[in-house]
Amino acid sequence: MSMKPIDLIVLAVYALSLIWIGAHFARKQSSSQDFALGSRDLPSWAVLLSMSATELSAATFIGVPQAAYMGDWSYLQLALGSFLGKLLLAWRVIPLYYKSGIVTVYGFLADRFGSTPQKAAALCFLFGRLFASGARLFIASLALSAVSDVPIAWAIVSCGLVAGLYTLAGGIKAVVWTDTLQAGLLLFAALAVLMSLIQAAPGGFSGLFAWAQEGGRTKIAFFDPFISLSDGRVLGTALIGAFFLTLATHATDHDMVQRLLTTRNARGSSGALIGSALINFPLTLLFLAIGTGLAYFYQAPPQYDISDPTRILPLYALHELPDGLRGLIFAGLFAAAMSSLDSAICAMATCWCEDIRPIEKNAGTGLRRMRRASIVFSMGLIGAALAMSSYHAILTETPSIKAPNLVEFALSAMSIFYGGLLGIFALGLTSQTRGSPATVCLGLATGALTGLSLFLHPIVFGTVWIAWTWWIPISGGLSFLVASLAHRESSPTTA
């Protein structure tokens, strides 16, 4: 079965709407500051929805139902760890960033340690964000490939180009407002899929829930053991991993922090952050319920091939949903993908032009450089997605490795370089002295290399010794320790 003309029309309208929004905000830009910060006048509710849409991503839309389809609800534990991390950030970190008046989060490091650590951290972010968003682009492209028979490489190129096009035009305002639109679309799509599954289930929701309970398919917390080095699903390990991952992504990753810098004040930003933490719980439950519903629906094998669980949701939408609604579901799926890609492109362009190669004071020249950088990073994102596709293939084809599900794969990709960043940011936030730029850079390099080694160790040794949930605590701890050991005492900073 293939997409019908009405479905393709729905998808075309969706894509054109994104491009129109980008063009609309492009006309209102006069400087690179508008591109990067949106004049700091965006409402908190829009920032909240934009952040939530990006946090969901294609990894959630496809990967969480895949995990629940295979009987694993442990992902909900991560939502609790993330909630605790966001509370700490809203209380202590976001007000400090607003007080500093920074354009990118790495400007904080310039105030604390000088321009060299700022540039080093920005480069680390660029590599980390390319890998992390590349994994999400690869996951989104799995769905496009599944329903169109397009090779995965071409699907990656297509998704990457669409996201780059409207980000190139409109900057952070286009990102926030398109993400707001996309948050509503992906929520509608998820609810439509769940309602379809409930209607198809004998006994409706109660029958589906009873079946899941009897089979133990909704077990959330795993206590035996409470903490494990190699199993990221047990409760203690999951809480630790999600807590530190959230600290890293929402305090040191400009892809997430850029939205938090676009509200009028720190109070609005902190409110958006806490709001995103609260709605994360019901959204996670929604996608887990979809996965369990798919498992119930496919107890009897259909006439089409469902042997690959990574494609289970796209295949259900393609074969079981009516014309028109099918197009809306895929628009929601691609909304989840675009909402994480657009912000990444904007963040990388801003980081390059503010931290690594500062733009000229001329407003028009600065804006043009931002847009050129967006083009370059769009291409880089496509290349990273192709690399992550190859890495995922190696993991799944190695018999001795228990291949991660898609959401674990996406989260592990975020853990490569962010431990190093978290370590030096923690030093900057807790120390009152300026310290040595060389020492800070050494700590960053130690953490980044440790994170990369942990990411590659499954294919090097043929097994997972250390679960992804430990990668940021380990690499971040080493980064902080190395940077602290030779931390030179000097006069207190004012940051």
The pLDDT value given to residue 341: 79
* Token pair of 107 as six digits: 């400007």
CA distance 252 to 122: 10
- The whole model's pTM is what? 0.86
Measured CA angle at 257 (ends 113, 235), to 5 deg: 100
Which region, left, alpha or beta, applies to residue 57 given φ > 0 means left and ψ of -120 to 50 means alpha?
left
Q: Which residues contact 238 (CB under 8 A, 6 or more apart)?
A: 74, 77, 78, 81, 232, 469
For residue 159, report the phi and psi dihedrals to the nearest 5 degrees: -65, -40
Give the model's pLDDT for residue 145. 81
Q: Is the peptide bond before 151 cis (omega within 30 degrees of 0)?
A: no
Q: Which amino acid is at 452?
A: L
Amino acid in position 259: R
Write out the chain's pLDDT in tens, 495 residues. 567 888 888 888 887 877 777 667 655 555 445 544 545 667 888 888 888 877 877 778 888 999 999 888 988 999 999 999 999 999 999 999 988 888 889 999 998 899 999 999 999 999 999 999 999 889 888 877 877 778 888 888 888 887 776 566 556 666 777 777 778 888 888 999 999 999 988 888 888 888 988 878 887 777 778 899 988 888 999 999 999 999 999 999 988 888 888 888 899 999 999 999 999 999 999 999 999 999 999 988 888 888 888 888 888 988 898 888 888 888 887 777 777 777 788 889 888 988 888 866 555 566 678 778 888 898 999 999 999 999 988 888 888 777 778 888 888 998 999 999 999 999 999 887 767 899 999 999 999 999 999 999 998 888 889 999 999 999 999 999 999 885 554 444 443
Both tokens assigned to 91: 């209380």
Residue 146's pLDDT is: 75
- Residue 202's pLDDT is 82
pLDDT score at 230: 86
DSSP sequence for 98-144: HHHT-SSTTHHHHHHH-HHHHHHHHHHHHHHHHHHHHHHHHHHHHHH
Q: What is the pLDDT of residue 490?
A: 45
- Measured CA to CA in angstroms, residue 363 lies from 96, 103, 105, 171, 422 at distances of 27, 15, 21, 14, 32
166, two tokens = 């409207």
User: 360-375 burial by CB neighbour count: b if 16+ within 10 A, else e?
Assistant: eeeeeebbebbbebbe
Residues 6 or more apart in contact with residue 390 via CB below 8 angstroms: none
Cα 25 to chain centroid distance, Å, stands at 24
Rounded CA-CA distance 436/118 in Å is: 13
- What lies within 8 Å, CB to CB, of 106 at 6+ separation is 118, 119, 121, 122, 125, 254, 351, 354, 355
How far apart, in whole angstroms, are the C-alpha atoms of residue 472 and residue 78? 14
Residues in the chain: 495
Contact 254, 123 (CB under 8 A): no
- CA atoms of 341 and 334, how far apart (whole Å): 10
Residue 295 has what pLDDT?
A: 92
Q: Where are the beta strands (DSSP E) in 160-308?
A: none
State the amino acid at position 167 in one-letter form: T
Contact 466, 457 (CB under 8 A): yes
CB 22 within 8 A of CB 174: yes
Contact yes or no for 426/145 (Cβ under 8 A): no
Distance CA 190, CA 204 (A): 17
Separation between Cα atoms, residue 333 and residue 189, nearest integer Å: 8
What gap in Å lies between CA 186 and CA 347, rounded to an integer?
23
For each of the domains in the chain, give its residue range(s) and CATH number, in order of start.
5-398 (1.20.1730.10)
